[in-house]
Structure 1
Amino acid sequence: MNLLFVLLSCFLTHTNAQFRISNGEDINVESSTHSVAIFIDDTYNCVGSIVNMNSVVTVAHCTIMAEWDKVLLVAGVSDLRQRNSERAQRRNVQRIHYDPGYNEQTKCMDVAVVKVNTPFQRTDSVRSILLRSHPLVPRSSMQVSGWGSLQLNSRTTSDLLKTKSVQIANTQQCKTAYANVLSLNLAETIICAGCGGADVCVGDSGAGGVRNRRLWAVLQGGCEIYGLPDTYTDITNARVRNFITFWMDN
Structure 2
Amino acid sequence: MLVSAKKAGNLFVFGALGLTLAALAYPAMLGVQKTTSSPDRIVANTRYGPLTEADRDFVVKVRAAGLWEYPLGEMAMRRGTSPEMREAGKHLVVGHAGLDEMCRKIAPELGVVLPNQASPQQQQFVATADAASGKQFDSTAVTIMRVTHGQIFPTIAKIRATTQNAMVLALANLANDTVLDHMTVLENTGLVNIDQVNFQQSTPPKLPKDDTTPPPPLQGAPILALAPRPDLNIHTAAPAPTGPSAPSPSAG
Report the TM-score when normalising by structure 1.
0.27
**Looking at CA atoms only, which structure, 1 or 2, has the larger radius of gyration?**
2
Relative to its length, the structure with more helix (as a share) is 2
Which structure is richer in relative contact order (CA contacts within 8 A, separation 6 or more)? Answer: 2
Larger strand share, 1 or 2: 1
